[in-house]
Amino acid sequence: FRHAKSSWDDPSLADHERPLAPRGHRAAESMAEHLRSSVPHPDLVLCSSALRTRETLDRMSEAFGDAEVVVDDDLYGATDDLLLERLRGVADRFETVAMIGHNPGVHDLAIALAGSGADLGRMRAKFPTGALAVLAFAAPWRELAPGDARLEAFVTPKDLA
């Protein structure tokens, strides 16, 4: 999941401290409603420590139910390789994981992992703020590798409008 639209209203803020824009709040709430009814609920949520990702998480917390939540400084600005390594380190007891992060890392990771899927071309073309890629694979986390996953769904806030 890529964080929802952030605000650029205060240029004095450090990038890490930028909040969600009003449009981002609405998009995160719309995506939360979608998550409540249509995708597997995660056992674990990995979230970047940036304010906009944490605010996105707050808007979606009800959709994530009783999932364990980890706010991780290393996910802020992480590359796809670092994000993949973080997923490989997920304990086997977690079946479904949600990750809330940033582009280009989230987009690059989704492209790298998705070896097949109906919406693959659309996802490769653009991964806008608030977008969600649902990927499925049949191996332990530690064995996750590029091309191993199938893109089950790609949903953007615009799709739900």
Q: Report pLDDT digits (tens) over 51-107.
A: 999 999 999 988 898 999 999 999 999 999 999 999 999 999 999 999 999 999 999
pLDDT tens-place string over residues 94-107: 999 999 999 999 99
Residues facing 151 on adjacent strands: 117, 135
Would the pLDDT of 127 be above 90? Answer: yes
pLDDT at position 159 is 96
Out of 15-24, 56-65, 142-151, least confident range:
56-65
* Residue that wins the pLDDT comparison between 152 and 62: 152
Whether the Cβ atoms of residue 132 and residue 155 lie closer than 8 Å to each other? yes
Number of H helices and E strands in the chain, helices first, is: 6, 6
Confidence of residue 161 (pLDDT cuts 50, 70, 90): confident
pLDDT tens-place string over residues 34-44: 998 886 789 99
Three-state SS at 44 = strand
Confidence of residue 18 (pLDDT cuts 50, 70, 90): very high
> If you write DSSP's letter for every residue of 50-101 in order, what string do you get?
SHHHHHHHHHHHHHHTT-EEEEEGGGTT--HHHHHHHHHTS-TT---EEEEB
